[in-house]
């Protein structure tokens, strides 16, 4: 069985649906193929469309990322917001995001549904369907893909252009270990379970280059040993880590916690057993643990939620309590107690101390054992600012595009929003496809 389409989109998350809706609104016939039983992917767990407010801010946040891709995301952000609103999806007023971004609250479920309806007006949506391989012409152009429908029926889709938007490879432990970090094989998954590298494998199978090897990932600290169900992705993400201290098993601080939770998360992955103790004081509990992290976001007691989920959580009345950490936990409590004692007494940082955070000088102390969780990797398919997949010598592979978490190079350690980057580069890819086919 076979069919033809102007644009084949493999993946039905933010990037795939944005490109599909844009192309369909421009008059192209579009086919969307999603491996999961329903559309949306990890988009459904997000709530803000945001990025850095300027190219200079993006460069400061993400100095090792691809400068052209980074600048393109900032430049295209306003158009992405306008596109969301054109579809009739509520997109809130601009608010500060973290310490360095600006963005808009977005009802992602409504956006997914709006895109789905637009595609169905001039195309096809296939869910529960597996894309097995890209098809290629003798001249090297991608001509579509081989699909297996939910009932096992094979389907050949002939396409004028193909976009890979499968959401990354974070659900594949082997790829995580090889392309992110050896310890990443075993870390918690804070993502949909369907994004397991299909886009990356298909792209490299036709000559695409993998970009930003071991450049890091976006994720959060979460309570160690606690099962992460999708309905707890937000509740159990301990965003307040930049207002706390993080200790490894040796009782040492090893990162400037104020740089932000996703960087602290990556740093913890590199420590023994990839687990640590996150400690804040009464002020941290009052001003950060129990308040909304982003204007308009939910205000929940993260400590109480972690305790309810069965995490190792304690409230310590004074620094000496840390000397009684149970041996089976494995932490050097004496060293942690010494650090906190110095802070509680207002001691000046020693010349050898690497980091000078806000002192934790208002007991009691709120303690959670934490571990890293991955949302998506920064390694992926190399693309240009039009979303074209690049092969050897940075030459575009004809008629093949990628966007969203399938791409690599945009971020390298730094991070300034996932949905915005997905939307901007998906719109660029769709516009390039429209330009070449009309």
- Sorted by where each begins, the domain ranges of the chain are 2-215+378-437, 217-374
Q: Which run of H or E residues covers position 174?
A: helix 173-179
**DSSP code of residue 39:** S
Closest by CA to 241, choosing from 352, 336, 366, is 366
Q: CA 188 to CA 99: how far, in whole Å? A: 26
CATH of domain 2-215+378-437: 3.50.50.60
Residues 313 and 368: their CA atoms lie apart, in Å, by 5
Q: Mean pLDDT in each 10-residue stretch from start to end of the chain (438 residues)?
A: 96 98 98 97 93 94 95 97 96 84 93 98 96 96 98 97 98 98 96 97 98 93 95 92 94 91 95 97 94 75 95 96 95 94 62 64 96 98 98 96 97 94 98 94
Closest CA to 213 of 184, 193, 243: 184
Whether a cis peptide bond, with omega within 30° of 0, leads into 323 is no
Count Cβ atoms within 10 A of the Cβ of residue 151 and give its class: 0-12 exposed, 13-18 middle, 19 or more buried.
exposed
- Asked if residue 18 lies in contact with residue 115, where contact means CB atoms within 8 angstroms, the answer is yes
Strand partners, 142: 136
- CA-to-CA distance for 104 and 106, rounded, in angstroms? 6
d(CA 336, CA 398): 57
* Spatial distance between the Cα atoms of 111 and 204, rounded to a whole number of angstroms: 31
Distance CA 320, CA 342 (A): 11
Per-residue pLDDT, 97: 83
- For residue 344, the model assigns a pLDDT of 61
On whether the 217-374 domain is CATH 3.90.700.10, my answer is yes
Q: How far apart are alpha carbons 376 and 32 in whole angstroms?
A: 21
How many angstroms separate the CA atoms of 2 and 154, rounded?
Answer: 8
User: Do 251 and 331 contact (CB within 8 A), yes or no?
Assistant: yes
- What is the structure's pLDDT at 342? 80
In this structure, the number of other CB atoms found within 10 A of the CB of residue 88 comes to 9
Angle made by CA atoms 370, 289, 326, in degrees to the nearest 5: 40
Q: What's this model's pTM, rounded to 2 decimal places?
A: 0.94
- What's the confidence (pLDDT) of residue 98? 75
SS3 call for 280: strand
What burial class does residue 150 get, using C-beta atoms within 10 Å of its C-beta: 0-12 exposed, 13-18 middle, 19+ buried?
Answer: exposed
Distance (Å, rounded) from C-alpha 414 to C-alpha 229? Answer: 26
Q: Where are the alpha helices (DSSP H) in 288-346?
A: 302-308, 333-344
pLDDT the model gives residue 355: 66
Beta partners for 130? 148
CA 57 to chain centre: 19
d(CA 129, CA 52): 36
């Amino acid at each position: 069985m076979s069919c033809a389409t102007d644009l084949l989109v493999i993946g039905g998350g933010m990037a795939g649906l944005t490109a599909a809706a844009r192309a369909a609104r421009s008059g192209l016939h579009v086919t969307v193929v999603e491996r999961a039983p329903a559309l949306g992917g990890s988009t459904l767990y997000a709530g803000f469309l945001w990025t850095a407010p300027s190219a200079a801010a993006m460069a400061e946040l993400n100095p090792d990322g691809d400068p052209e891709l980074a600048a393109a995301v900032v430049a295209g952000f306003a158009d992405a917001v306008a596109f969301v609103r054109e579809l009739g999806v509520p997109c809130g007023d601009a608010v500060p995001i973290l310490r360095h971004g600006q963005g808009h609250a977005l009802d992602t479920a409504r956006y997914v549904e709006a895109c789905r309806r637009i595609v169905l007006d001039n195309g096809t949506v296939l869910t529960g369907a597996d894309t097995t391989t890209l098809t290629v012409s003798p001249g090297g152009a991608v001509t579509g893909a081989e699909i297996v429908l939910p009932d096992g029926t094979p389907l050949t889709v002939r396409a004028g252009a193909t976009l890979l938007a499968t959401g990354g490879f974070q659900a594949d432990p082997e790829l995580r270990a090889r392309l992110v970090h050896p310890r990443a094989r075993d870390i918690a998954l804070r993502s949909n379970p369907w994004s397991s590298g299909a886009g990356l494998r298909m792209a490299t199978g036709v000559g695409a280059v993998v970009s930003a090897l071991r450049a890091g990932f976006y994720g959060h600290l979460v309570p160690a040993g606690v099962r992460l169900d999708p309905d707890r992705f937000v509740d159990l993400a301990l965003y307040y880590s930049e207002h706390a201290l993080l200790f490894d098993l040796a009782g040492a601080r090893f990162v400037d916690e104020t740089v932000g939770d996703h960087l602290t998360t990556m740093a913890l992955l590199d420590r023994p057993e990839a687990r640590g103790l996150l400690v804040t004081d009464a002020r941290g509990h009052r001003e950060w643990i129990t308040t909304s992290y982003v204007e308009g976001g939910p205000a929940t007691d993260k400590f109480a939620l972690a305790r309810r989920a069965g995490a190792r959580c304690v409230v310590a009345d004074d620094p000496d309590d840390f000397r009684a950490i149970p041996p089976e936990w494995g932490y050097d409590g004496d060293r942690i107690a010494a650090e906190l004692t110095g802070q509680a007494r207002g001691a000046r940082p020693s010349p050898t101390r690497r980091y000078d955070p806000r002192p934790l000088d208002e007991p009691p102390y709120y303690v959670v054992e934490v571990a890293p969780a991955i949302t998506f990797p920064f390694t992926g398919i190399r693309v240009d600012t039009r979303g074209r997949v690049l092969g050897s010598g940075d030459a575009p592979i004809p008629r093949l595009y990628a966007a969203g978490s399938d791409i690599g190079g945009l971020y390298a350690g730094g991070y300034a929003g996932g949905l915005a980057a997905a939307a901007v580069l998906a719109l660029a890819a769709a516009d390039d496809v429209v330009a070449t086919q009309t």
